[in-house]
Structure 1
Amino acid sequence: MNIDFDKTNGLVPVVIQDEQTLEVLMLGYMNREAYDKTVAENIVTFFSRTKNRLWTKGETSNNFLHVKSIALDCDNDTLLIKVKADGPTCHTGDRSCFKTSYNQNFIFELQNVINNRYDNPSEESYVNKLRKKGLNKIAQKVGEEGVETVIAALAETETDLINEASDLVFHLLVLLREKNLSLDVIAKNLESRHR
């Protein structure tokens, strides 16, 4: 990558974005050394302007930012890094340093919660109880929630429709996980069909 560090006095701004939700998590700065370390370790390292040193995000909190892709802008002086975050990105404990009013991409987080329930089953977990009943029951629940969503759309309140549609999406995510599929696969398929 031909990054123009000279144009900006040795530092380039770096936008950090969640790889799945595309939510902007934070903005930091890198010098050449921070960039090289980031590429070598696949974990984001910045140059801290206040501490005047390299700073790996997560070095004290363990909320590391794992690099999934790096893109350079058209002027060669700004980076966009898509990451998988180990936890909250902001030092305040928020998922992002930018105070959005709600998590507009919670569906991806919900998919991660379901994956976690599969990988680390818990007796109290509804996902675990449903999973134990098998694929047929999971598929049946998707069908039931689909019918309930249609009924709510035709004959019930907006709140009922929202609740039933939410149940449908949740159970569909469980079904996709049961079949080892993800929203990424569905999104790519929808994108290819759109063209």
Structure 2
Amino acid sequence: MTELKYDKDGLVPVIIQDSETKLVLTLAYASAEALEKTMADGETWLFSRSRQELWNKGATSGNTQKVISVRVDCDGDAVIYEVVPNGPACHTGEQSCFNETIYGDNRKSAGDMLDELKGLIRDRQKEMPEGAYTTYLFEEGVDKICKKVGEEAAEVIIAAKNRDAEELSMETADLFYHVMVLLQEQGVDLDQVMDVLKERHQTKSPSK
């Protein structure tokens, strides 16, 4: 195993990443003790440079993180915690601390948007915040969600038949959202759908 190289303060930078969406949640630091506790407990332990003490992520806020894996880079001077977050990672209430673009295109890729939406829907199912539309869908159950998927699919067809590009974009976005709620309700990860698409692409004959 690669030997970790701690800095002069005995710390190593930790990138915390959502294990499902691959969204980078935050950057923090860990001491050897914090790293040992993380691997022993399966929870995110870090070292606070401002307070000069160990801290367990979410111990106060409730936004805990289940650590799925700890990976080290090739030089041994940084690690990644891959986690399943129970709530937002940022103290501002955002999923990720990295929300401001200071250079370049701030538009998210299609894959990033779907991953972010998947994470939001997953969090809604866990937290069930009162008044949220996604909470309402989960409370109503699979019949209501399936009904909405059917309605949105019909709206997509109507927009396409009307050759209305703006309407088609909006209705397709609604359809994507409701399908992803359905996937979450059924316990089917979006990655499973992507795996099917990849498999079909790899096995597709040149004549098709």
Task: Give yes or no for TM over 0.5.
Answer: yes
Match of 1:125 among 118, 136, 154: 136
- Where 1:162 maps in the other structure, the secondary structure is helix
Q: Which residue does the alignment assign to 2:170? A: 163
Structure-2 residue corresponding to 1:71: 71
Asked if 1:108 corresponds to 2:115, the answer is no
Deviates more, 1:25-34 or 1:99-108: 99-108
Indicate the SS of the match to 1:28.
strand
Give the percent of matched residue pairs that are identical in Structure 1 and Structure 2: 38
Cα pair distance change 1:153/1:44, threshold 3 Å = same
Q: Distance in 2 between matches of 1:93 and 1:110?
A: 12
Shift of 1:149: 1.6
Runs of 5+ in structure 2 lacking a partner?
102-107, 203-208
Cα gap change, 1:113/1:49 in structure 2, threshold over 3 Å: closer, same or farther?
closer
Cα RMSD between the aligned structures? 3.1
Residue 188 (structure 1) shift = 2.7
Q: 1:50-89, aligned counterparts within 5 Å?
A: 50-89=50-89
Task: Please tell me the residue identity of whatever aligns with 2:156.
Answer: T
Distance 1:37 1:4 in 2: 16
Partner of 1:95: 95
Quote how far apart the aligned CAs of 1:111 are.
3.6
Deviation at 1:169, TM superposition (A): 1.6
* CA distance in 1: counterparts of 2:65 and 2:123, whole angstroms: 18
Q: 1:116 offset after TM fit, Å?
A: 4.5
| Paired position in structure 2 for 1:186 | 193
Deviation at 1:27, TM superposition (A): 0.5
TM-score, normalising length from structure 2? Answer: 0.73
Are 2:30 and 1:30 aligned?
A: yes
Question: TM-score under structure 1 normalisation?
Answer: 0.77
- Which of 142, 145, 148 is the equivalent residue of 2:152? 145
Tell me how many residue pairs correspond in the alignment: 187
SS where residue 80 of structure 2 aligns?
strand
Instruction: Tell me how far apart the structure 1 counterparts of residues 59 and 119 of structure 2 sit (CA, whole Å).
Output: 24
Distance across 2 between alignment mates of 1:93 and 1:177: 22
